[in-house]
Amino acid sequence: MERTLTRWPAGHRLSRRGLTAVSLLAMAATALTGCASGKAGGDSAGQATATSGGGTVSGTKSGGKVSLVVIGGKSDDPFFSTVKRGVEDAAKLVKAGGGSVTYLGPANYDNLGPDAAKLTQTAISQNPSAILVPDWVPENQDSAIKQAIAKGITVFIYNSGGISAANKVGAVKYIGSDDYEAGKAGGVKFAEEGADNILCVNTVPGSANQEARCKGIKDGATSKGSSAKQLPLPSSNFGNPSAVTQAIKGALLKDSSIDAVVTIGVGDADSAAAAIKQANAGSKVKLGTFDLSQSQLDRIKAGTQLFAIDQQPYLQGFYVVSMANQYLTYGVLPPQNPILTGPLLVTKDNVDKAIAGAKAGVR
């Protein structure tokens, strides 16, 4: 607010991304040492079809086969596009076993909590074996998630909410990053690089993971003697580069003591970079962001962006689908909980490896 275990289809020719997926699959299989009982639902026949967002990832449900519904972000969100690539690679393996995976996402983030709850209700109506969902806004979503569990549907929480959300609603596991700890790492890094007054730009205020990120930034900075504050913007600004650029530029011009800006996502980071340039603050204001895109990597390589905090969204999509499939099919689970995919700080010291991962489609 960001990306897997049956036999590969005979004769399937692997793309570069597919080869990466298989190597990750081997690592995941090695980690699956625990065993737990699981109940596979979704015995009803019919076509699994997404009602909004990214559309159907794979085909038809059949009686007794694993059927998964993945709830994620909107289709043009760069972060969730990478999550969805991981979902799609894992879905090939689910489909090879006769199962199906459906991806549902909201049209926008203007009403995220209620919309995510409605998507969960839509997922419940499809009677799947499992629902895989971020717990973005618990006060809106938890009731629907608990309703799914009460109906015998297995739930995995991924991307947002953390282990506390998974335990609260009764989900099997949490897969993703720890947003608060990721923020702390960013706040510490800013402070260590000389930033004294950090601005955390939040274009989805009220979302649990984004609030945790900004709080982590503040606490990390404070632990090193620096300070940080949040700039909350209307969620309608998400995906509106002009509005975000103007808001950040205005904040920089109003408060000349701001010497670092961090954004909650890659699109906003591009807007922040433009705002810093327009405010003629490039020599003073350091830039950081959560998540990765090519433009972030290019700026880090060029020395115009300090860091990006990667939570590896491809792995989130890949792992949550593969683990749910294996749990429902064989009752196996890795013993670790949560399964962390981040945070990993990408800086000038390791940016070349991150660029290679981006070329492979997994960063």
pLDDT band at residue 48, thresholds of 50, 70 and 90? very low
Mean pLDDT along residues 256-283: 96
Q: What is the pLDDT of residues 282-303, one digit of tens each?
A: 999 999 999 998 999 999 999 9
Chain CA centroid to CA 228, Å: 24
User: What CATH code is assigned to 67-177+313-342?
Assistant: 3.40.50.2300
Question: Is pLDDT of 157 > 50?
Answer: yes
Domain ranges, ordered by start, for the chain: 67-177+313-342, 180-310
Q: Is the pTM of this model over 0.75?
A: no
d(CA 292, CA 343): 12
pLDDT band at residue 361, thresholds of 50, 70 and 90? confident
**180-310: which CATH topology?**
Rossmann fold (3.40.50)
Q: What is the pLDDT of residues 197-212, one digit of tens each?
A: 999 999 999 888 899 9
- The dihedrals phi and psi of 96, each to the nearest 5 degrees, come to -60, -25
Lookup: tokens for 286? 């350091």
* 67-177+313-342 and 180-310 agree in CATH topology: yes
User: Could you give the 3-state DSSP secondary structure of residue 290?
Assistant: strand
d(CA 30, CA 178): 23
Helix residue ranges, H only, the chain: 16-31, 78-96, 112-125, 138-150, 162-169, 179-192, 208-223, 241-254, 266-278, 294-302, 313-330, 351-359
Question: Is pLDDT of 16 > 50?
Answer: no
